[in-house]
Structure formats: structure tokens, C-alpha cells
Chain A
Amino acid sequence: AQSVTQLDSQVPVFEEAPVELRCNYSSSVSVYLFWYVQYPNQGLQLLLKYLSGSTLVKGINGFEAEFNKSQTSFHLRKPSVHISDTAEYFCAVSEIEYGNKLVFGAGTILRVKS
């Protein structure tokens, strides 16, 4: 069975600063990896995904993530954050054989301060 660990429950950062949200996963088989974002009082929205190919994945709103198989990590980065990036971010994994079943991490709340 897979599991996902998001290493930080909250990340405060000033506007225009860079940010990294960390995600590690555990699985005995090959996986797909995802980052979702949840803005206040809304459902989840897919930010980016890694299915195969290049390990550097670019998503919406200037976010990117890098898949590191040896470290079983999929950290999310943005070089310069905005107030509007304040949200909760979830890392998720699915086994390739069962691409439609997601296992989520506990979430990281990103608070962007002015």
C-alpha cells in the first residue's frame, strides 16, 4: 500500500519569496504523483501531475515539481509567491495499475504574508 508524507503542516512565507512544499511517498510499485490545491471554501483543483517522462513537471499558476525516484520525493516549488497562493496544498499518489485511486497526504497550509 502507498502512503504520502507532507513534511510541513504549515509554511509561512512573505510575498515574492520562493517556497518549497515537501512531499515524500512510499510505495512498492511504480506510481503517479500529483499536487492539488484547495483555496478557502472550495474543492480541490489539480495543480500538476507526474505520469512519466521528464522528472520536472510544470503546472498552473507558476508552480513546478520534481520527481526524485531515489529519494521517493515530489517537492512542489514556486520561485515567487503571491498573496493569492494562500491555500492548502495536497500531495497525492496512485499506483500505476490503479490510476484512478488516489492516496493523499495530510496537507500543507501555505500562508503568504505581505
Chain B
Amino acid sequence: DVKVTQSSRYLVKRTGEKVFLECVQDMDHENMFWYRQDPGLGLRLIYFSYDVKMKEKGDIPEGYSVSREKKERFSLILESASTNQTSMYLCASSLSGSGEGSYNEQFFGPGTRLTVL
């Protein structure tokens, strides 16, 4: 079974702190994703990575950065946490496509609920 793990289920931080959310997958997937989930808004893509050291902005990258130094690990960084970043953060991974029109299922981690006070 594919397993995507996230370093914390619950996290409480203070405004201005630097926050690291870690995600690890064990299936040698090329693609990894960070989403933010808010009630009434669904999931919104923050960043994704299609290879080591490669990243692309998603729909809401402002206030976030990412790091992918190893294939299995994808980190989301909040350089200076703010209260409006209180949310549920979900990581996902998938194989890369084999060409235009290809599809590979995204597998999700359990999420990290971040509260910024």
C-alpha cells in the first residue's frame, strides 16, 4: 500500500514563527503536492513538485515556500506564520504521467491541522 505520512497531526504556532510541515511518501512517486483545506473552500493547491529540487506554484502560493531535497520528502515552509494560515494542510503524492493525457492517482496523507495564534 502507498503510504503518505505527515510529521504532525496537530500543530500550534505563534504569529511570526517559522513553521515546517513535513511529508514523506514510501512509493517512489515523482510528484508531490501540498494542499490547504478550509471549510467551504475545499482543497486548494499551494505548491507541487514533479522531481527533486523542482517545484511549481499552485493556486495560492503566497506566504509559503517548499523544499524537496530528496525524492521521498516534500516540506512546506511558512516563513512567518500568520493567523490567516490557520488551516488543515494535506500532502499528496503520485507517479508522474507517461505522456499527455496520462493520469495517475494522487494518494493523500492524513493532514496536519495548524493553528496560528
Contact = CB atoms under 8 A, between A and B. Distances in A.
B48 interface: yes
Interface residues of A, number: 26
A102 B44 contact: no
Given A44-B90, A100-B94, A100-B97, A106 B42 contact: yes
B12 interface: no
Interface residues of B, number: 27
16 contacts: A6-B42, A32-B103, A41-B110, A42-B111, A43-B90, A43-B110, A51-B103, A90-B42, A90-B43, A94-B103, A96-B101, A100-B48, A100-B104, A104-B42, A104-B43, A105-B42
A86 B102 CA distance: 32
B109 A99 contact: no
A83 B50 CA distance: 39
Contacts of B97: 99-100
Given A41-B110, A43-B110, A45-B108, A104 B101 contact: no
Count chain A CB atoms within 10 A of each CB in B48, B90, B100, B106 and give the residue with the most. B106
Nearest to B103: A99
B44 A43 contact: no
A39 to B, nearest CB: 10
